[in-house]
Structure 1
């Protein structure tokens, strides 16, 4: 598959990194020579220096042979133009990253298809939706639903009094007598581990389960966690993400939005219907206290400054705010949340890259999701007739050890498969896989 990525920023780099180990034919175009040199020395991709809207540069990348062109520069005008040009020159499919939320309105979809843009991706909107999901399930670090909740993948931190603490998976099997959930992986410090029967669970590990809806309360109990009602939310930062998040949350929660720029506050107040917009500096702890920080159930920090978001979230934790979510731009910070006490760190560019990633996958894919700070993907495959996974039971498939067929939906019913289970045509299989193994797994479903 030939893929052209335009824009070597965080989204483009992360995409190229995810793809570079998969024998894909990848070209990355960027005007920044220093950035390209870094990418060229770290990833197995072809780099081209130049303006992606240049016809000469697109021809140099052999755009007419491209299966997919992904335009993810910081300029949405550039991304739209690149996508239009690429389609005119023969590219099979185009994806454009955009920032303007109005462009995502359904009535505009036909227009963009006509122009040659197959899909529009908004990192801002994707991040806002992710924040809403995290707020909805207050006790979880991650929450991904498949087939309208028939199966869920949840991340939850192991508490000090959990009966799972210091036990292996096999030693704690009696806690799951009906086999309605399954631990599939854990995150410890900076490492993601696919759990096996002899994997030991420690306090403060983030343990990932796949579960049917009726077992979620049981999982929380054995992890020593409790869900709590969220009613009052404080959002720090009136950025585009802050605005999009407040727009989604104000329908169901009492929301206060903190923004230090007075002119921006006036703009936000005009856009939001049920959100209280307050003009103060979020670094002023006294001012936050006066606005009721200690009475909040959740605190969401989405300013453009990663360090401020982390520090303000820690301040919120110190004021007994139960749920904290911080936006970070530095991808290296993503692994820190487990160690410093913030519930979840999110990066909108990683979320966007993972969302785009599903367009590149082989096989019949229904849905795809990522876990925060974890180098892994959750993929829902449609099981096709005569694919490898239908030939043998799960324990005889020789599936990669860095992956797990975690859940199955058959005849609209979700359940957890174990070793002697055999998939069949028409099933939907939920697979957990470290990123490095995804291309191997696709061969089982293609």
Structure 2
């Protein structure tokens, strides 16, 4: 597929990096420094110029493209570029749009005339991810698959976990009535696709795929308890915190700290159920005065990764049970567990996942990358031609660095065993490292 990506910021850069192995990518960027970085590090044709200049778009051969993904930081540039692309015959367009007004029902321009086939709202998607983490307060990651019938939970193991140092095949026998599978282990910045002889050790971050109805049983196995969250402090009064407050404000007491006076006054006006404080959220004295030690959760979602990291570490030091930080620089991801951070979300990764899911939507219903891990969890829909449907799993040569986590067959969740026979039309959730992805896709396509 020929894909034109606009913008070489973190979203456009990482989207290009992930898609260039399978697709012919052209990338437009007007910042010379970002152009240089992209030219040196990406396997793509780079065009320097304005993303809504028709001259630049013609240089990028826009009329030959199958898909345009407008990922710049400017909503209007993204929307206009999609309109141009549609006029010249590009079949599919995707836009990253921050301003929620463009998708409101009362917006005067109808949705179908705005231009994009898909509008991705990064802040809204990120807020939804954080809300899931608040409602599953013990998890480091929560991702849904199978139309909500499956949930992937990331959980960090402490020394008191009863499942430590027991081979996974023995755990499987002991808890075979529990519909769950450990599909990955993150250990000291190394991702392990587990096998029966592997054992879990303190400090491991495990990723468990399960029916959501068994969440409490899985938590008990890890030696933890899911804490009810009643009080939240949020650092940053931007769109993400506003979406979180609207979703949770009726059921949870929320305090928002914003260091810009005008912004704090605006947020206070639109969120009457929340207490908005003007101040520096990294000031320990301010946090103490505002009762951080009484909080059940602390969420840092400012525009600065460094501020978010420092603030959540302060909150952890002050024994806040649940901390969540927005970290967009992918280079920081591998170190976040080692410095004691709890849960981390990336607006860029969430946006990239949404674009990938749409591009691959014919046979991929969901795709997710996890912060700090070079791996993907992909939900495929099998067809009568899929090789994985021809034999029981134990007779299929499945790549070593991938694992079938679960199957949804006729609306029912199956944790597959060797004798499991996958049928055409089943949804199959597979965890895979990059080096195994090509072999996995040969079994599906």
Secondary structure of residue in 1 paired with 2:359: coil
Partner residue in 1 for 2:34: 35
Unaligned runs of 5+ in 2: none
Q: How does 1:399-410 map to 2 (within 5 A)?
A: 399-410=398-409
Partner residue in 2 for 1:161: 160
Question: Equivalents in 2 of 1:119, 1:366: separation in Å?
Answer: 15
Partner residue in 2 for 1:61: 60
Residue 303 (structure 1) aligned with residue 296 (structure 2): no
Question: Equivalents in 1 of 2:169, 2:392: separation in Å?
Answer: 21
Question: Equivalents in 1 of 2:299, 2:147: separation in Å?
Answer: 26
Do the aligned partners of 1:4 and 1:69 also contact (CA within 8 Å) in 2? yes
Do the aligned partners of 1:362 and 1:442 also contact (CA within 8 Å) in 2? no
Question: Equivalents in 1 of 2:323, 2:218: separation in Å?
Answer: 21
Partner residue in 2 for 1:79: 78
Aligned length: 445
Secondary structure of residue in 2 paired with 1:225: coil
Partner residue in 1 for 2:18: 18
Residue 376 (structure 1) aligned with residue 375 (structure 2): yes
Question: Equivalents in 1 of 2:368, 2:176: separation in Å?
Answer: 29
Partner residue in 2 for 1:7: 7
Secondary structure of residue in 2 paired with 1:140: coil
Do the aligned partners of 1:365 and 1:379 also contact (CA within 8 Å) in 2? yes
Do the aligned partners of 2:3 and 2:66 also contact (CA within 8 Å) in 1? yes
Structure-1-length-normalised TM-score:
0.94
Question: Equivalents in 2 of 1:68, 1:108: separation in Å?
Answer: 26
Residue 364 (structure 1) aligned with residue 363 (structure 2): yes
Do the aligned partners of 1:18 and 1:435 also contact (CA within 8 Å) in 2? no
Greater mean alpha carbon deviation, residues 167-176 or residues 414-423 = 167-176
Call closer, same or farther: CA 1:435–1:267 in 2, change over 3 Å: farther
Partner residue in 1 for 2:244: 245
Secondary structure of residue in 1 paired with 2:26: strand
Secondary structure of residue in 2 paired with 1:51: coil
Question: Equivalents in 1 of 2:378, 2:37: separation in Å?
Answer: 30
Call closer, same or farther: CA 1:275–1:362 in 2, change over 3 Å: closer
Runs of 4+ deviating beyond 4 Å = 106-110
Unaligned runs of 5+ in 1: none
Partner residue in 2 for 1:289: 288
Question: Equivalents in 2 of 1:440, 1:40: separation in Å?
Answer: 29
- Alpha-carbon deviations, 1:196-227, whole Å to 9, x = none? 12223211110111112343223222212111
Secondary structure of residue in 2 paired with 1:186: strand
Call closer, same or farther: CA 1:421–1:107 in 2, change over 3 Å: farther
Partner residue in 1 for 2:228: 229
Structure-2-length-normalised TM-score:
0.95
Q: How does 1:196-235 map to 2 (within 5 A)?
A: 196-235=195-234
Greater mean alpha carbon deviation, residues 242-251 or residues 188-197 = 242-251
Question: Equivalents in 1 of 2:385, 2:194: separation in Å?
Answer: 29
- Alpha-carbon deviations, 1:295-351, whole Å to 9, x = none? 100000111222221121112112221110011232211222311222112221121
RMSD: 1.9
Per-residue deviation, 1:235:
0.2
Partner residue in 2 for 1:92: 91
Do the aligned partners of 2:80 and 2:115 also contact (CA within 8 Å) in 1? no
